[in-house]
């Protein structure tokens, strides 16, 4: 790289002029939340809306005009001139089409108008969004529908402010073309079944909802390096690039001091997200150099999914203000840890009870044991489906690569809970919970720390972490909606099943405390005996676990083409039909779209690899070769032997031959894949290995060719210049 590009941007100022952010004041300022609604809506309309938001009551069209009017007035006061129905098509990203509030009036002027109909229903031309065969392009109609349960918000860029209304997106025959509709349907299914089970425990609540807090990992690199790398620009990851002499071996970046420019960036992101009511809570350096993380406080899963999209959008939009680019790709750099999005999930009642809170003595907590068992059963039964929800071309680089969980789904419960469940499975009841007491630090000045009953396990794909499960395989650039939808649906199914068994055991007899306890223990014992194969507390990164998992009959779906068919296997179709979350056609549509995305991603990567190898790497190598040969030729009069020069020339020449051959084979594999019966498989089996061969030669050349001729920013520059 030319050396000018290697100079990092320095921020102006001495860093001492500090205006603290007033979080309480700005939090939610750009959202049309409950307090804004209360202040602006007629009392009856407000009450109606709260019943919908908090208790899932149906929303009545008659309130539409009043809400629209209040929302428009609020938005206009914030400088908004346009509004958009903000939705989540199956691309996994968000979509928006802006409409103006302004309507010309008879006097030649204009007024701001926004009716209830504008609020409740939109009709974007939907023909270009993926539908997976659910809709032919000539039937382009698609509708967006207002989701009152997720607050509307205002996005400001420079001088433009736009009111964004979270909406669902469906075809005109009513099929879900987005990620929100199934998520909301799954929340409803979970609500119904969990409340039914809670009734059996004598706990009546008016609503149960899934909660989610998703930790977002990402990389930041200097914008100038990004712009000089066609692979990053086009595919979001480096397709070439030799490993730097120093990677993450020293573990010195993790939780290290946050670099100043990055801190300024994080602060700006937080400010933006606070305005949008997104409760970001923690920030830190991650394992790889140049890698960072943000995590929010958990929320209702539907709102959390919208907020997660806002988080990704804000990260990417804010970075250029600091001369940075935010990479959300799961594996931007080979040989360096990739990025994930731990999806923390639990179930909560409207009264604030977390159904996965074990308390100090979990063996006595029947309710917890019941719901936890349901999750164990659900994950065991639908392990393949869960795997499918995190299957993408990008995530394939992480899963099972000793930096992320393997492709095998299993549950980490920790020592204490495993022991309790083992007691129940063995004898039908549990009489103790292992306690771990306090941690003495060997000096009186440090406080005694209560020790958790279980250590953490960073290698587990699905870990119980105290009062929630953490689904760790989710990719950093993914929407959390599909994983959440699946978790809610399969949990609903398992709760339904266990509740039915519990009802049968309890019969009509009087439900004494003892009768309930016995019945719950019986039901749990059966379920654990049937599903304990999914529980694994050991190191998921070892070969031994791969073998053990196979013995246990657990699925090991290594790649996306292996995993996606799980979206339409019988167990999936049955569960999704039973709770009316997705029909078989809707599931098939999703499988088709995700497969298509896989094929397109690999194809674009392969084409970019070919192009960069041919037009950037090969010319650099040839120029260097020519320099070497010229030097040797010119200097021979002086009696120099040029042994080293000629040896280098031979090496370069041989690699150039290899490269040309590898490029040719890649082009051929790509062409052949297009005609293949199973395109995804051909991409996986032939194109990806051919890409790897091209890369191998390019990376070898990077280690030989003169640095000043090398046309691409190196890993060292991208990862270490902060
Ligand atoms: P850890 O460090 O063990 O992962 P944290 O307390 O940092 O735990 O939480 C990680 C994420 O989990 C945060 O986003 C947090 O809000 C979320 N979380 C905590 N409790 C719950 C819950 N009951 N449901 C869903 N997410 C939760
Ligand atoms: Mg975590």
Q: Is the pLDDT of residue 164 over 80?
A: yes
Residue 181 has pLDDT above 80, yes or no: yes
> Which pLDDT value is given to residue 253?
66
Of 565, 591, 541, nearest in space to 407 by CA: 541
Q: How many CB atoms lie within 10 A of CB 649?
A: 19
Pocket probe mutation, ligand 1, options 208, 216, 254, 298, max atoms within 8 Å of Cβ: 298
Establish whether residue 378 lines the binding site of ligand 1, counting it when its CB lies within 6 angstroms of any ligand atom: no
Rounded Cα distance, 601 and 596, in Å: 8
**297 C-alpha to ligand 1 centroid (Å):** 7
The helix (run of H) or strand (run of E) holding residue 414 is: none
Residue 505's pLDDT is 92
The pLDDT value given to residue 405: 85
- Classified as helix, coil or strand, 270 is helix
Relative to the alpha carbon of 466, which ligand is closest?
1
Ligand 1 atom closest to the CA of 346, numbered from 1: 24
pLDDT at 556: 96
User: Among 315-324, 501-510, 604-613, 711-720, where is mean pLDDT lowest?
Assistant: 501-510
Question: Is the CB of 469 within 6 Å of ligand 1?
Answer: no
* Residue closest to 334 by CA, chosen among 704, 694, 706, 619: 694
Q: How far away, in angstroms, is 403 Cα from ligand 1 center?
A: 21
Q: Is the pLDDT of residue 188 over 90?
A: yes
Q: What is the mean pLDDT of residues 30-45?
A: 95
CB 114 near ligand 1, within 6 Å: no
Residue 408, H or E segment: none
Could you tell which of 213, 301, 471 is best to mutate to test the pocket of ligand 1, judged by most ligand atoms within 8 Å of the CB? Answer: 213
According to the model, what pLDDT value does residue 13 have?
Answer: 46
pLDDT tens, residue by residue, 566-582: 999 999 999 999 999 99
Q: Write out pLDDT tens, residues 443-480.
A: 766 676 666 666 677 899 999 999 999 999 999 999 99
Whether the pLDDT of residue 137 is over 60: the answer is no
Q: Which atom of ligand 1 is nearest to the CA of 344?
A: 26
Residue 463 beta carbon below 6 angstroms from any ligand 1 atom: no
How many C-beta neighbours within 10 Å does residue 490 have? Answer: 30
Residues 402-440: tens digit of each pLDDT = 788 889 999 999 989 999 999 999 998 888 888 776 666
**Tens-place pLDDT, residues 383-410:** 999 999 999 999 999 997 778 888 999 9
The encoded tokens of residue 313 equal 């959008």
| Residue with CA closest to ligand 1 atom 3 | 465
The residue nearest atom 11 of ligand 1, judged by CA position, is: 213
User: Which protein residue's CA is at the shortest distance from atom 4 of ligand 1?
Assistant: 465
Q: Please determine, for residue 2, whether its predicted confidence score (pLDDT) is greater than 50.
A: no
Pairing of strands 208-222, 142-146: unpaired
pLDDT at 339 > cutoff 50? yes
Which of 468, 469, 470, 471 should be mutated for ligand 1, with most atoms under 8 A from CB? 468
Alpha carbon of 342 to ligand 2 centroid (Å):
6
295 lines ligand 1 (CB under 6 A): yes
Atom of ligand 1 nearest to the CA of 282: 7
CA dihedral 229→233→236→240, nearest 10 degrees, is -30
Mean pLDDT of the residues in the chain: 90
End-to-end CA distance of the chain: 16
Of 12-26, 517-531, 571-585, 630-644, the poorest mean pLDDT is in: 12-26
CA distance 255 to 378: 35
Distance between Cα 465 and ligand 2 center (Å): 8
278 CA from centroid of ligand 1 (Å): 15
Ligand 1 atom nearest to 295, measured from its CA: 14
- CA gap 555, 549 in Å, rounded: 8
Predicted pLDDT at 5: 47
Ligand closest to CA 464: 1
Q: Which pLDDT value is given to residue 112?
A: 81
CB 80 within 8 A of CB 161: yes
Q: Is 468 in the pocket of ligand 1 (CB under 6 A)?
A: yes
Nearest residue CA, atom 13 of ligand 1? 213
Query: Would you say 191 and 348 are in contact if contact means Cβ atoms under 8 Å apart?
Result: no
pLDDT (mean) for 66-95? 92
Cβ–ligand 1 contact at 297 (below 6 Å): yes
Per-residue confidence (pLDDT) for residue 1, from 0 to 100: 45
Q: What is the pLDDT of residues 601-633, one digit of tens each?
A: 999 999 999 999 999 999 999 999 999 999 998
pLDDT of residue 132: 73
Q: How far apart are CA 393 and CA 537, in angstroms?
A: 28
Q: Is the CB of 222 under 6 A from ligand 1?
A: no
Q: What is the DSSP string of 323-392?
A: TEEEE--S-SSTTS---BEEEEEEEEETTS-BTT---S-GGG-HHHHHHHHHHHHHHHHTHHHHHHTT--
43 pLDDT higher than 80 = yes
Q: Counting atoms of ligand 1 from 1, which one is nearest the CA of 297?
A: 16
For ligand 1, whether the C-beta of 467 sits within 6 Å is yes
Ligand 1 binding pocket includes 213 (Cβ within 6 Å): yes
Is the pLDDT assigned to residue 209 strictly greater than 50?
Answer: yes
Of the ligands numbered here, which is closest to the C-alpha atom of 471?
A: 2
| Spatial separation of the C-alpha atoms in residues 407 and 560, rounded to whole Å | 10
Higher pLDDT, 96 or 223: 223
pLDDT at 521 over 80: yes
296 lines ligand 1 (CB under 6 A): yes
Span from the CA of 517 to the centroid of ligand 2 (angstroms) = 33
pLDDT at 250 over 80: no
Residue 692 banded pLDDT, cuts 50, 70, 90: very high
What does the radius of gyration of the chain's CA atoms come to, in whole angstroms? 28
User: Is the model's pLDDT at 284 over the cut of 60?
Assistant: yes
Q: What is the mean pLDDT of residues 352-379?
A: 95
Q: Quote the pLDDT of residue 412.
A: 96
Q: In the structure encoding, which two tokens stand for residue 139, read together?
A: 């039937």
In whole angstroms, how far apart are CA 116 and each of 79, 144, 296, 431?
Answer: 20, 14, 33, 59
- Cβ–Cβ under 8 Å, residues 307 and 164: no
109, 567 in Cβ contact below 8 A?
no
Kindly report the pTM of this predicted structure: 0.93
* Whether pLDDT at 301 is above 90: yes
Stretch 697-712: mean pLDDT: 97
- Report the nearest atom of ligand 1 relative to the CA of 213: 14
**CB distance 244 to ligand 1 below 6 Å:** no
Per-residue confidence band for 252, with pLDDT thresholds at 50, 70 and 90: low
Question: Which ligand does the CA of 214 lie closest to?
Answer: 1
Q: Are 343 and 305 in contact (CB under 8 A)?
A: no
């Amino acid at each position: 790289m030319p050396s000018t590009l290697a100079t990092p941007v320095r921020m102006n100022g001495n860093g001492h002029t500090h205006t603290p952010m007033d979080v309480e004041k700005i939090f939610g300022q750009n959202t049309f939340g409950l307090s804004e609604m209360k202040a602006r809506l007629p009392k009856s309309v407000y009450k109606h809306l709260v019943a919908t938001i908090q208790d899932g009551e149906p929303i009545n069209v008659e309130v539409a005009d009043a809400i629209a009017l209040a929302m428009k007035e609020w938005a206009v006061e914030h400088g908004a001139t346009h509004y958009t129905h903000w939705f989540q098509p199956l691309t996994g990203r968000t979509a928006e089409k802006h409409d103006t509030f302004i309507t010309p009036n008879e006097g030649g002027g204009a007024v701001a108008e926004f009716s209830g109909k504008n609020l409740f229903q939109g009709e974007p031309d939907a023909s270009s969004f993926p539908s997976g065969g659910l809709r032919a392009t000539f039937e382009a109609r698609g509708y967006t529908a207002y989701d009152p349960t997720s607050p509307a918000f205002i996005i400001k860029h420079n001088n433009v402010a736009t009111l964004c209304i979270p909406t669902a997106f469906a075809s005109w025959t009513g099929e879900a073309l987005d990620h929100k509709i199934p998520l909301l349907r799954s929340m409803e299914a979970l609500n119904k079944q969990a409340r039914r089970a809670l009734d059996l425990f004598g706990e009546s609540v008016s609503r149960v909802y899934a909660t989610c807090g998703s930790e977002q990992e990402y990389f930041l690199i200097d914008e100038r390096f990004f712009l000089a790398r066609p692979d990053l620009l086009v595919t979001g990851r480096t397709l070439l690039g030799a490993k730097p002499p120093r990677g993450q071996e020293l573990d010195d970046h993790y939780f290290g001091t946050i670099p100043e420019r990055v801190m300024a960036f994080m602060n700006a992101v937080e400010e933006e997200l606070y305005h949008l009511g997104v409760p970001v809570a923690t920030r830190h350096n991650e394992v790889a150099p140049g890698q960072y993380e943000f995590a929010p406080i958990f929320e209702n899963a539907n709102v959390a999914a919208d907020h997660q999209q806002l988080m990704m959008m804000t990260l990417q939009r804010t970075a250029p203000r600091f001369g940075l680019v935010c990479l959300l790709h799961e594996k931007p750099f080979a040989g360096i840890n990739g990025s994930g999005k731990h999806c923390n999930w639990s179930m909560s009642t409207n009264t604030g009870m977390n159904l996965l809170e074990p308390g100090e003595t979990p063996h006595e907590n029947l309710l917890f044991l019941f719901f936890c068992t349901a999750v164990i059963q659900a994950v065991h039964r639908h392990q393949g489906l869960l795997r499918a929800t995190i299957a993408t071309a990008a995530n394939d680089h992480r899963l099972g690569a000793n930096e992320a969980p393997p492709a095998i789904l299993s549950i980490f419960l920790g020592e204490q809970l495993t022991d309790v469940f083992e007691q129940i499975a063995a004898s039908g009841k549990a009489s103790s919970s292992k306690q771990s007491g306090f941690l003495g630090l060997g000096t009186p000045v440090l406080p005694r720390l209560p020790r958790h009953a279980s250590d953490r396990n960073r290698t587990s794909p699905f870990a119980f972490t105290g009062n929630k499960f953490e689904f760790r395989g989710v990719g950093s650039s993914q929407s959390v909606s599909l994983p959440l939808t699946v978790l809610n649906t399969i949990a609903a199914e398992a709760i339904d099943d266990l509740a039915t068994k519990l009802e049968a055991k309890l019969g009509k007899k009087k439900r004494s405390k003892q009768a309930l306890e016995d019945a719950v223990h019986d039901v749990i014992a059966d379920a654990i005996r049937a599903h304990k194969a999914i529980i694994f507390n050991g190191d998921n990164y070892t070969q031994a676990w791969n073998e053990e998992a196979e013995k246990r009959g657990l699925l090991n779906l290594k790649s996306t083409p292996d995993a996606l068919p799980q979206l339409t296997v019988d167990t999936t179709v049955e569960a999704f039909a039973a709770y009316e979350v997705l029909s078989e056609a809707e599931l098939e549509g999703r499988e088709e779209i995700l497969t298509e995305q896989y094929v397109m991603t690999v194809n674009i990567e392969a084409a970019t690899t070919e192009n960069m190898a041919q037009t950037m790497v090969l010319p650099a190598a040839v120029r260097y070769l020519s320099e070497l040969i010229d030097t040797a030729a010119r200097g021979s009069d002086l009696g120099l032997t040029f042994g080293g020069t000629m040896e280098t020339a031979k090496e370069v020449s041989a690699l150039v031959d290899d490269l040309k051959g590898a490029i040719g084979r890649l082009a051929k594999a790509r062409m052949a894949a297009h005609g293949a019966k199973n395109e995804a498989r051909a991409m996986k089996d032939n194109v990806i290995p051919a890409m790897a061969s091209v890369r191998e030669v390019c990376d070898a050349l990077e280690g030989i060719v003169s640095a000043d001729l090398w046309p691409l920013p190196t890993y060292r520059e991208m990862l270490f210049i902060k």
